[in-house]
């Protein structure tokens, strides 16, 4: 199967089209309402319609207003499930958009059935926190996709699994972008689903001989990237060989995020401390350089758009496997069904009903007999590690550098929140903050708005004024 038509829901800045645009996917429409991502779409894809509100798409599909594509992909808002958010799940209107996503899939399949076409393939991405959501959002999603009237409930959703439901077959797997060539630790949940003749586990999991799995055990977990190096004549120091997960708040709450204290968000360039730039964040996600640098784009908007997007290399890996699956299936004209009863000795069953099967693939690799292994770890068999050296941009603008007052503020917030800090980062912050007098820093600090964790500074009478910038 080539030239797969695609509809993209909650498109954001469109990682999917970057990953799939040149490997046999044809995007029919997007759906995005946020101003900056919408501007990205109109700039990068002026001839592809942005349908706007996803809640209006089912009716448009049913009425034939928009094309019913072969594949629908989406990443409904993750804030309701993220550890960085409020974790309200389906009690949050953003979480409920996950179920609206299923309405789109159902309407799309109805339209395709009327045209004599097969059910669509479904691709959904989200934070792994949805697996632990107290409202069982993931169980509701799976139930709706599979075709159950009642939600599936389990004591704990596994990191990988398979469901063969009455309506659709589903597979899911948590994978980390760190193992796909990006120096960023970014664990995400990836779900594939489709009709009863579609077997998504063939795409999401890797099926190996036992000897092949053994050969992967000795691989290192990261490149031996030096933390101090020279690039284009600039002295560079980083505090970790990879960053923590980027998310949208980095644009506005850089110093308020606890992840910053391990140093993964900062670069020491020529003995001055700065935050990662939007260009560096693009590289951390696998986007082309300056992809988000469009007319009128602020740094904050770029940070938010990048942080809310998908890791491009992971999406490309999935797209390549999807195309390979359909090509092999079309050539052989045979089903790719696997007898899930083979898993019974090494995997747990998810309780469904007598007509359906659910398999909990909690282990990294599951032996299915006949010398075969289903590999379902967060790490692909042919893992690739990126180098933080390639991410660093030595031409970072002055606005990304942190003043001595800003460095002092980071140290203050660390103490107030009783957070641990990378020791080397702590040393650098102390060194830079010492460049200004305590009086000057205190005066500037009183002009800055304090966060909810902070204690107010005592009022002092002074007429001395300084120009300042927190970053």
Give the C-alpha separation, 289 to 277, whole Å: 11
- Whole-Å CA distances, 23 to 27, 113, 291, 428: 12, 26, 19, 45
Give the C-alpha separation, 231 to 58, whole Å: 51
- Token pair 């049913």 is at which residue? 62
Give the C-alpha separation, 76 to 469, whole Å: 36
pLDDT of res. 77: 64
Q: Is the model more confident about 259 or about 471? A: 259
Residue 85 in this model has a pLDDT that exceeds 70: no
Catalytic residue among 78, 140, 245, 281: 78
Average of per-residue pLDDT across 246-255? 61
Taken in order of first residue, the domains within the chain and their CATH numbers are 4-206+310-375 (3.40.50.150)
Edge-to-edge strand list for the sheet holding 25-30: 49-50, 25-30, 4-9, 71-74, 121-127, 187-194, 169-176, 160-164, 357-360, 348-349
For 282, the 3-state DSSP assignment is: helix
pTM of the model: 0.87
Beta strands in 242-380 (DSSP E): 266-269, 272-275, 348-349, 357-360, 365-369, 372-375
Residue 364 in this model has a pLDDT that exceeds 60: yes
Give per-residue pLDDT as tens, 87-123.
344 454 444 677 788 889 999 999 999 999 999 999 9
pLDDT of res. 328: 85
Annotated active-site residue 407? The verdict is no
| DSSP element (H, E) containing 38 | helix 35-44
Q: Beta 49-50 vs 25-30: how paired, if at all? A: parallel
Q: Are the C-beta atoms of residues 307 and 247 closer than 8 Å to each other?
A: yes
Q: Are the C-beta atoms of residues 133 and 87 closer than 8 Å to each other?
A: yes
pLDDT of res. 257: 63
pLDDT of res. 425: 94
pLDDT of res. 223: 67
- Token pair 């349908």 is at which residue? 51
pLDDT of res. 334: 54
Give the C-alpha separation, 434 to 436, whole Å: 5
pLDDT of res. 463: 39
Highest mean pLDDT among 76-85, 238-247, 275-284: 275-284
pLDDT of res. 211: 52
pLDDT of res. 173: 96
Where does 192-308 have alpha helices with state H? 201-204, 210-214, 278-285, 299-307
């Amino acid at each position: 199967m080539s030239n797969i038509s695609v509809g993209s829901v909650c498109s954001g800045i469109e990682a999917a089209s970057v990953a799939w645009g040149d490997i046999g996917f044809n995007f029919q429409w997007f759906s995005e309402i946020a101003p900056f991502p919408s501007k990205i779409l109109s700039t990068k894809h002026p001839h592809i319609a942005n349908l706007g509100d996803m809640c209006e798409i089912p009716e448009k599909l049913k009425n034939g207003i928009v094309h019913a594509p072969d594949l629908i992909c989406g990443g409904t808002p993750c804030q309701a499930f993220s550890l960085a958010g409020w974790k309200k799940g389906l009690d949050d209107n953003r979480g409920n958009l996950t179920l609206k996503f299923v309405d789109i899939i159902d309407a799309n399949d109805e339209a395709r059935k009327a045209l004599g076409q097969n059910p669509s393939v479904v691709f959904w991405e989200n934070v792994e926190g949805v697996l632990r959501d107290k409202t069982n959002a993931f169980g509701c999603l799976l139930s709706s996709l599979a075709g159950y009237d009642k939600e599936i409930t389990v004591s704990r959703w596994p990191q990988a699994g398979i469901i063969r439901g009455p309506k659709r077959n589903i597979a899911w797997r948590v994978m980390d972008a760190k193992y796909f060539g990006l120096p960023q630790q970014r664990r995400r949940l990836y779900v594939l689903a489709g009709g009863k003749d579609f077997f998504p586990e063939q795409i999401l999991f890797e099926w190996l001989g036992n000897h092949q799995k053994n050969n992967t055990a000795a691989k290192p977990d990261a490149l031996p990237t030096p933390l101090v190096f020279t690039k284009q004549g600039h002295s560079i120091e980083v505090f970790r060989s990879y960053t923590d997960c980027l998310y949208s708040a980095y644009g506005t709450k850089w110093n308020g995020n606890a992840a910053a204290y391990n140093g993964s968000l900062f670069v020491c360039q020529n003995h001055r401390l700065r935050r990662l730039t939007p260009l560096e964040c693009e590289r951390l996600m696998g986007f082309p350089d300056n992809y988000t640098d469009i007319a009128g784009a602020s740094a904050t908007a770029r940070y938010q758009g990048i942080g809310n997007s998908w890791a491009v290399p992971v999406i490309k890996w999935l797209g390549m496997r999807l195309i390979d699956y359909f090509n092999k299936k079309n050539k052989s004209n045979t089903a790719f069904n696997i007898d899930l009863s083979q898993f019974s000795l090494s995997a747990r069953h998810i309780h469904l009903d007598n007509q359906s099967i659910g398999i909990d693939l909690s282990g990294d690799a599951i032996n299915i007999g006949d010398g075969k292994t289903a590999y379902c770890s967060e790490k692909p068999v042919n893992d690739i590690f990126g180098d933080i050296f390639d991410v660093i941009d030595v031409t970072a603008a002055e606005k990304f550098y942190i003043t001595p007052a800003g460095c002092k503020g980071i140290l203050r917030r660390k103490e107030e929140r009783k957070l641990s800090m990378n020791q080397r980062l702590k040393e650098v912050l102390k060194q830079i903050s010492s460049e200004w007098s305590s009086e000057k820093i205190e005066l500037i600090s009183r002009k800055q708005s304090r966060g909810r964790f902070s204690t107010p500074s005592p009022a002092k009478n002074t007429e001395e004024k300084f120009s300042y910038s927190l970053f």
